[in-house]
Structure 1
C-alpha cells in the first residue's frame, strides 16, 4: 500500500509539472533587429557615446518604473527619445546644483524609426515598447534585466500611438497610427491577438482599460471618444464600440481621459472644459464653483489617483489642478442644465502657458511634470497651501531640437529648438556651453491675467564656412551659425566660447513663413534660405573689406532675389560648382534650379537695401511692397530630377 501511495503521489506531481509550461527563453537581439538597407551602417560598427535631451512633446513616454527608495534613489523613470528607451535613476535628494539624474541606462529600438509609446506593467516587472517603422513590433522587456521576454507582431502598419496594460496585468491593448488606426487586444504572455478592429477613421491618441474590468476599454483622439466592450456573441468574442455623442457640447479633440471605477469616463477638451461621460452620452460638463473653465486651452492630463481619492488635471495653461473624485463622480445637473459646478481641492500654477503633457506621481505629494517644450519638473505639495516646484528636475539641455550643425574645424556643434533656443555644444565632453533665446514681445494672458512670452521656434541651422565668417587671429576658424526661425527671420550668430555667450552679428527676413532650410555654397560666396511659403531666396555673401586683428567685421549678405516653387521647400543643397541648387518639395518633387554666374550682381538696384552689417532686427522686417517683391523675383530655369532609388519612408 505504501508503494502504491508513493506512486500515486509521484504521478500527481508529474501531472502538475506538465501543466505548468516553462516560459520560452528571452529573445536575442539578432532575432529582432530589422534587415539593413543597402545604404545603412550596422549598429555593430558604431559605439554609442551619449545622448543629450528628451523628447517631452510626445504622449505616453514618461512613466514611473520604480518608486522612490528613501536613501537609495529618488525613483527610476522610463522615458523615450529618438530610437532609444531611457531608464533614469534619480538621486535620493533634490540636487541643489548639478543634475538630479544619478545614472542612465539605454535600450535601443529594433525598428530603427523611433519609439511610439511606452507602458509599465502593474507589477513593475515588465514594460512594453511600441515602436515605429514598417510593421513595427511591441517588445515586452523584463525589469531590471532589460531582456526581451515577449514580442507582439502585426499590430499596426507604421507606428503605435498608445499601448496600455490592464489593471490585472494579463491583457495589453494597443492602438496604431495611420493608415490603419487598429485597436488590438493581446494576451501578451502567449503573444496572441485576442480581438482586433479599426478604432476610428482619424488619429487615435490613447487607449485605456477600466480599473476594475479588463473587458471595458476607451479610446480617444481627433474629434471623438469611443467606449468598447468585449462581448460574447454567437460567433465568439467581439469588440463592440460606441462613439461618444457630444450633443449640445462643442465637438472637440480629446487628448486625455480617465476611466472611473464605475466605468464613467472623465475627459478633457480643446477649450478647457471637463466632460463626464455616462455610457456614450455626456452626463454633464464640469466647471469650477465660480463657473470658470477648469483650464484655459487644451487639457492634456486627466488622471484618477485611487490612493489619494482625487483627480489630477493639467493642460496648456501651466496649471495643475486637483479635484475630489466623489464630487465629480456624483456630479448631477437638472434636466434643463448641462453644467455641473465642482469646487477644486487645490491648484498650482507652475508657469504661465507651460504646455504640461503628463503628470506622473512619484510618491504622496510628489509629482513629475512633463513640459512639452522643455524638461521634466518636480512638484512637491508641502501642505494645503504651500508647494515647491523644482524646475528642470530632469534637465532637457537640447529643448525639442529641430536642427543640428557640426563645426568642420573644431569639436563643437550647435543645435536649435522649438523653444527658440540656439545652443552650443562640446560634444567630446557632452556639455552644453551656452544657449541664447531671441527676445520676443510679451502677450497678454486674458484668461488668467498678466503677461507671458510667446515662444518663437528656431527651425533650421547651418554652420557658416570660413570664407563667409569672421576670421582673424583671435578666431582662426569659423564659429558662426545661420539659424532660421518660424517667423521668416534668419539670424547669424557668433559663438563666443571664452565668454560663454552668443553674439548676434546679422539678421534679415527673406520669408513670410517658417524658414525650413538654409545652406551655403561650397565656395561660401552664396547663401540660400527656403521656406514653407513656397520660395527660396538667394544671397551673395560679400566679405567685408575692413579687417583688424581685434575688431570683428561681418560679411555682408546682399540679396539677389527669390524664386517661387510649386510647394513648400523641405530641403535644399548646392551643387559642387555653385551653379545650381537642388530643391526637395513637400509634394514629392525634386527640382534642380540653375543659378546664374553673376550672383554677386544686383538685379534690384531700385530697391532700398538695409546695411546688413547692423544687428538691428528691424532689417528686412518691414513688409515689402508689391513693387519691391517684383524687383527681387527671379525666373530661374529648372529641370526635374529622377528620384528613383530614394530612401523609403517609414
Structure 2
C-alpha cells in the first residue's frame, strides 16, 4: 500500500517501510508487475558444523552430502557440481542416511513462513538420486526442532527413530513409509546428543548425552529403558557418540577422551554379575586428549575416531589398537563429523565450518568453507564475477562466482555488517557493528582507509554511481556523507543527513 511518501510491504510478517524517491510524482504510474522469471539456486557456499554433529557423508553417487541453513547440499567434488534438496522450510539440524545409501532423512527446526505464520518442525525422507520427497514425518509431534535421528538397520531401514528438542527430549519410533508413529516416550531432561538403532538387534535403540547412556528395548508400541551403569569407571560429563563392533558390542566416546566398550551379558544373574541381557562395560580405552567427538565405523570393520581438543583423527584396528593418526590443523577448528570417503580417504566436518577431505599419508584438502557466524554484509563487484561477504565472525571473504572458490579472506578487528564496492572495483567499503568502517583494496585486501561515524552499528554503505560520494547509514538514524577522491582511496566528511 502506498501511503504518501512511502510504501509498506510485509516480509515474513514484519512491516518494511520504503521511501519513494522525491523525483517520483506518482508511484502508481511507475508501479510494475512482478517479472515472470524465477530464480534457480546455483551454488551454496558453506557448511553448518559449528553447532551440529555427524552431518557429512559420502554417497554412492560420489557426492558429499551436508547441510547449511534450510538447504541440503549434494556436492560432487571431482566434477565441482552441486545439487540441492530444497524441501525444508527452516534450518536443518540433523541428517541420517538409510542403509540403502540412497534415501536420506533430514530434520528441521520450527520456523515462520513468509507471512509470519508458524512452521512446524518435522523430518523429511527423500531420494538422493531424484531429490524427490518420499515422506514428511512428525508434523505436529515434535517440539522446537529435531535433535537427532536414525534409520533402523536390522530390518533394512523400515523404521526411523527421532529425538526432538523439547524439554523431555521425546523419543519416537516411526514406520516412516506409512507415516505412522509406533512408539513414544520421554527420555530425559538432560541434553541428548545421539540416537541409534542397534545394527543387528532390531529391538534395541540407544540414546546418549549429558552424563547418560540409555539402552531402550522396543516392542511393538512400548519402549522400556535400562540405564548404562558406569560402576568403577568414571562417569563422563557427556557421552558424545556411538558406534558398533561387528560382534554387536556398543562403543561410546565421551567428554573425558575415553572409548568404552559395552557388551551384552549372556549368563543368568549370579553373584557379582548383572542380570542377563544387560549391556555392561567390558573395556575402557583412553583415546584422545579432550573429548571423543565422533566415531566412524569403516567398511573394513576398523574404526575412525575424531577428537575435540586434540583435533586428532585416529584409525583403530579390529582389536582397538591405534594404528594411524593425523591432526587437523588448528585453523580449521575442532572435529564435528568424520565419515569414510573413497578408497583410503576420509571426510571431516569442523567447528569452523570446513569440510575437509584427507588421508593419513597426504593430509587434508579443503572442499567446503564459509563463515562461522551470522552473515550480514553482501556486495557484488561492479564488473567482475566476484562478490564479497562480511559477518559476525569478523571475516571478510571475496568469492569467485564462476568457479565457486574463495579468492581471499581477511579478519577485521570487529564484526562486519554491510559492504559496497567503489564503481571502479578497486576498493570495497565495509561497515561494522560499532560505527567504524574500513576501506580495503579489493585485490591485495590491504587496509586503505578507516573512519568512525557514531557508535552504533552501520547498516548500509553506498557509493554514488560516479564514485564521488559515499553514504554511510547508521542505526543512530543519521546518514553520513563523504566526498571520495583518488579512485576510492581518499575520504573527507561532507556532512550528515537526518
| TM surpasses 0.5 | yes
Match of 1:415 among 386, 389, 392: 389
- Closer, same or farther in 2 for the Cα pair 1:177/1:102, shift >3 Å? same
TM-score by length of 2: 0.73
- Taking the aligned partners of 1:117 and 1:241, their CA distance within structure 2 comes to 24
- Closer, same or farther in 2 for the Cα pair 1:225/1:148, shift >3 Å? same
Match of 2:144 among 158, 183, 187: 158
Residue in 1 aligned with 2:261?
A: 276
- Closer, same or farther in 2 for the Cα pair 1:577/1:480, shift >3 Å? closer
Contact 2:161–2:172 (CA<8 Å) still a contact in 1?
yes
- Closer, same or farther in 2 for the Cα pair 1:415/1:406, shift >3 Å? closer
Aligned length: 428
TM superposition shift of 1:548? 5.9
- Taking the aligned partners of 2:473 and 2:392, their CA distance within structure 1 comes to 27
Residue in 2 aligned with 1:243?
A: 227
- Taking the aligned partners of 1:308 and 1:151, their CA distance within structure 2 comes to 34
Residue in 1 aligned with 2:76?
A: 89
TM superposition shift of 1:313? 0.6
2:463 equivalent to 1:463: no
- Taking the aligned partners of 1:244 and 1:63, their CA distance within structure 2 comes to 29
Contact 2:107–2:148 (CA<8 Å) still a contact in 1?
yes
SS at match of 2:240: coil
TM superposition shift of 1:53? 2.1
Residue in 2 aligned with 1:127?
A: 104
Q: After superposition, what is the alpha-carbon deviation per residue over 1:286-344, rounded to whole angstroms, capped at 9, x for unaligned?
A: 12xxxxxx222232211233x423221112322110123334xxxxxxxxxxxxxxx41
Residue in 2 aligned with 1:5?
A: none
- Taking the aligned partners of 1:369 and 1:173, their CA distance within structure 2 comes to 25
SS at match of 2:450: strand
Match of 2:59 among 56, 65, 68: 65
Structure label with greater radius of gyration: 1
SS at match of 2:319: helix
TM superposition shift of 1:198? 1.6
Q: After superposition, what is the alpha-carbon deviation per residue over 1:236-278, rounded to whole angstroms, capped at 9, x for unaligned?
A: 6411122334455143123222133444332222232223344
Contact 2:151–2:159 (CA<8 Å) still a contact in 1?
yes
Residue in 1 aligned with 2:49?
A: 56
2:344 equivalent to 1:395: no
Contact 2:397–2:410 (CA<8 Å) still a contact in 1?
yes
Aligned ranges 1:415-564 → 2 under 5 Å: 415-417=389-391, 420-425=394-399, 432-437=406-411, 459-463=415-419, 479-483=428-432, 492-497=437-442, 499-503=443-447, 505-506=449-450, 518-519=458-459, 527=474, 549=486, 552-553=489-490
Which structure features the higher share of helix residues? 1
TM superposition shift of 1:83? 1.2
Listed as ranges, the gaps of 5+ residues in structure 2 are 1-10, 16-33, 111-118, 264-277, 463-469
- Taking the aligned partners of 1:418 and 1:310, their CA distance within structure 2 comes to 40
Contact 1:207–1:218 (CA<8 Å) still a contact in 2?
yes
- Taking the aligned partners of 2:394 and 2:311, their CA distance within structure 1 comes to 19
Residue in 1 aligned with 2:307?
A: 315
TM superposition shift of 1:117? 1.7
Listed as ranges, the gaps of 5+ residues in structure 1 are 1-35, 68-74, 92-100, 288-293, 328-342, 382-386, 439-455, 530-537, 557-575, 579-650
- Closer, same or farther in 2 for the Cα pair 1:311/1:60, shift >3 Å? closer
- Taking the aligned partners of 1:243 and 1:253, their CA distance within structure 2 comes to 14
Contact 1:423–1:436 (CA<8 Å) still a contact in 2?
yes
- Taking the aligned partners of 2:59 and 2:380, their CA distance within structure 1 comes to 41
- Closer, same or farther in 2 for the Cα pair 1:526/1:122, shift >3 Å? closer
- Taking the aligned partners of 1:435 and 1:477, their CA distance within structure 2 comes to 16
TM superposition shift of 1:229? 1.2
Q: After superposition, what is the alpha-carbon deviation per residue over 1:456-496, rounded to whole angstroms, capped at 9, x for unaligned?
A: 9x6442237x9xxxx8xx96998210245xxxx88633232
- Closer, same or farther in 2 for the Cα pair 1:494/1:187, shift >3 Å? same
- Closer, same or farther in 2 for the Cα pair 1:200/1:555, shift >3 Å? farther
TM superposition shift of 1:375? 2.5
Contact 1:321–1:348 (CA<8 Å) still a contact in 2?
yes
- Taking the aligned partners of 2:487 and 2:134, their CA distance within structure 1 comes to 63
Which structure features the higher share of strand residues? 2
Residue in 2 aligned with 1:586?
A: none
Contact 1:409–1:477 (CA<8 Å) still a contact in 2?
no
Q: Which has the higher contact order (CA 8 A, sep 6+)?
A: 2
TM superposition shift of 1:507? 8.2
Residue in 2 aligned with 1:302?
A: 295
Q: Please tell me the root mean square deviation across aligned C-alpha atoms, in Å.
A: 4.0
TM superposition shift of 1:102? 3.1
TM-score by length of 1: 0.57
Q: After superposition, what is the alpha-carbon deviation per residue over 1:338-397, rounded to whole angstroms, capped at 9, x for unaligned?
A: xxxxx412211232474121111123422111122142222224xxxxx112411x232x
Q: After superposition, what is the alpha-carbon deviation per residue over 1:476-523, rounded to whole angstroms, capped at 9, x for unaligned?
A: 998210245xxxx886332323x3424263389x99xxx9x5446999
SS at match of 1:297: coil
